[in-house]
Amino acid sequence: MSLLEATKLTRNFGGLTAVYEADLHIDSGELIGLIGPNGAGKTTLFNLLTGVYPPSSGTITLTIDGKTEDIGGRKPYRICAAGIGRTFQNIRLFKDLTVLDNVATALQQNRPYPLVSALFHIPPFGATERRIRSESLELLEVMGLAGKADELARNLSYGEQRHLEIARALATHPSLLLLDEPAAGMNPFETAELTALIAKLRADFGLTVLLIEHDMSLVMKICERIYVLDHGIVIASGTPDEVRNNPKVIEAYLGGEEVGNA
Ligand SMILES: Nc1ncnc2c1ncn2[C@@H]1O[C@H](COP(=O)(O)OP(=O)(O)OP(=O)(O)O)[C@@H](O)[C@H]1O
C-alpha cells in the first residue's frame, strides 16, 4: 500500500539544481535506502520531504489510514504532525538537557498541555507529565539508553547521541521515519548493532523507514530497495543486487568499481 509518492520533485538553489524531477514511491512497511556520492542531493531530498525547503516544483503526497494529503511545501511541524519523523546528518540535540528531557520535549510537542493547567500545575498537567515521563523512559529503553536517562546529552558518546536522536524522532510517533546517515562516525561493531536495531524498530513500531547511508554494509544488509541519486537525478532504483550490478551506479557512484558487497 502506497505511503509516500513524490513526483518530479525539483529543488533549485539559485543556478544550482540540487534535486531534479525525482520520482519516489514508498510502500507502507518498506525499509528503503537512499545512496549517492557526496553532493548528490540526498539531504536536500530529505529536506523537501520534511518541509525544511519547499520544492521548486513537483508534488509529494502522504497516505495514512486511507487519507491522502498533499504535503509538498508544508511547514516542518505540520509534516511532522502528518506522520514523517526524521534525524539529522549533524546531530541536533539539546546538549544541556538530560537524556530524558530530550525525549520528553519531543513528546510534549505532540501533546501540549492546556495553558491553564500548565500555568497552575493542576490536573491534567500532573497526569500528562507522568505519562510523558514513562513514555520517554520506554523509548530510552528501546534505544538502550534507559541507564543514561539523567545524564546530560552532551556527556553521551557519539554513538549514544545518535541513538538519542532516533528516540526523539520516535517520540513524534512517525509512520515514516527518515534517518540521515544514522551510522556516521560509528565503528563497525556499533554499526552492526544499529543495523539490527533499525530492523527491530521497523518491526516493533510498524514503521516505514527511508535512510541515507554511506556505509554500504548497512544499506545492502537491511534495505529491501534502494534509490540512487547522482547530481540530483535518480539514476537507479531496485533491490540491493539490482543496484549493485547496475552499470550506471557503478560508474557514477564508485567511478567504475563494483559497489560494496553486503
Ligand atoms: N541551502 C542550500 N543553498 C545552496 N546550495 C545548497 C543548499 N543545500 C544544498 N545545497 C547544494 O545542493 C547540492 C546537494 O547537496 P546535498 O547536501 O543535498 O547532497 P548530499 O547528497 O546529501 O551530500 P552528502 O553526502 O555530502 O551529505 C550540493 O551541491 C549542495 O552544495
- What would the grid cell of residue 204 be? 516493533
Distance CA 69, CA 67 (A): 7
Distance CA 105, CA 98 (A): 11
Ligand 1 pocket, CB under 6 A: 13, 16, 18, 36, 38-44, 89
Distance CA 247, CA 244 (A): 8
Phi-psi region of 29 (alpha: psi -120 to 50; beta: other; left: phi over 0): left
Measured in Å, residue 19 CA sits from the centre of ligand 1 at 9
Tell me the percentage of the chain whose pLDDT exceeds 70: 89
Distance CA 209, CA 86 (A): 10
Q: Which residues pair with 4 in a beta bridge?
A: 26, 62
Classified as helix, coil or strand, 256 is: coil
Distance CA 162, CA 143 (A): 10
pLDDT by residue, tens only, the chain of 262 residues? 899 999 999 999 999 999 999 999 999 999 999 999 999 999 999 999 999 999 999 999 999 999 999 999 999 999 999 999 999 888 889 999 999 999 999 988 765 555 555 555 555 556 777 888 999 999 999 999 999 999 999 999 989 999 999 999 999 999 999 999 999 988 999 999 999 999 999 999 999 999 999 888 889 999 999 999 999 999 999 999 999 999 999 888 666 444 554 4
pLDDT 10s digits, 19-58: 999 999 999 999 999 999 999 999 999 999 999 999 999 9
Q: Take atom 28 of ligand 1 and give the residue whose Cα is closest.
A: 39
Query: Based on the number of CB atoms within 10 Å of its own CB, is 208 exposed (0-12), middle (13-18) or buried (19 or more)?
Result: buried
Query: pTM surpassing 0.80?
Result: yes
- What would the grid cell of residue 16 be? 544550482
Q: Which atom of ligand 1 is nearest to the CA of 44?
A: 18
Given the C-alpha cell 527491530, which residue does it identify?
200
